[in-house]
Amino acid sequence: MKIKSYIVSFFLLLANVLTFSQTTLLTEDFNYSAGDLLTNHGWNETPAVSVESKVLFVGNSFTFYNDGVDIHLQKLIQYDTSFEGVSFDIQKIAVSSYTLEGHYNDPLTMAKIRSNNWNIVVLQEQSTRPINSPDLFLQYATLLDTEIKKMNARTVLYMTWAPKATLTDIDQLAASYISVGKQLNVPVVPVGKVWDSFVSKYPSINIYYTDNKHPSLAGTYLIACTFYYSLYGRNPVLNTYVPVGLSSANAVTIRKAVYDYMQLNK
């Protein structure tokens, strides 16, 4: 069965090359490391932080649940004494069920991207589009990346996770995000892979909301810790920020799990 899968994947790739298709190739075995994603696009393992570090998250409910990834990332930074004296401005523009296509066609999003001399703009695609419509994912990520570059900012892709009912979808999600990241030459923060690893290793801590798709508070904290490590090269294990409503014990487990995954996959 594995050989058959590889043969099918080969002919799919050949067909795409011959037709110059923009469709992202989704393969069963897409090998990469977190280090590849974060360092092979001109980023160092510990990216330099500018005096005014301005980050904008562009996404949907996977970004805004539980007050938002931006709020918890800002809190992690505030608890990090190594950032004393550095001013941060981390914001989001996130609309329920939005795709990157929706954001590109929304004047409010485009005005936001052009508004604040951002250093980094993080793009989060709608949860199923990287699998069901990878061509549209690539098309609108490319269009947004062009606008972001015009503002002298850097694009970062926020890889999301699979629903609890279809955990194996993470392989296709990851492949799609990595393919777009490579085509645009931009970093991918592998939240989905960190999430998948955590679900496997720590099933007693539920990082899913009750709908088994969106993040619980613990899930949003895991996302924020992953960005804290990925954007700033900081070890979340050493950070003491714990959101109200999350137990200290679970926060410690999440921080260590994020760090362990990222270190193992450098």
Per run of 10 residues, the mean pLDDT along the chain (length 266 residues) is 40 35 30 43 43 87 98 97 92 98 98 95 98 98 98 97 98 98 98 98 98 98 98 96 98 98 94
Residue 62 CA to residue 150 CA, distance in Å, equals: 27
pLDDT for the residue 116: 86
Residue 61 CA to residue 96 CA, distance in Å, equals: 5
Could you give phi then psi for residue 57, rounded to 5 degrees? -95, 130
Beta strands, E only, 38-147: 52-59, 87-94, 120-123
Instruction: Report whether CATH 3.40.50.1110 matches the domain 31-264.
Output: yes
pLDDT for the residue 28: 28
pLDDT for the residue 13: 37
pTM for this predicted structure? 0.84
pLDDT for the residue 4: 41
Q: Yes or no: say if 219 and 168 are a contact pair by the CB < 8 Å rule.
A: no
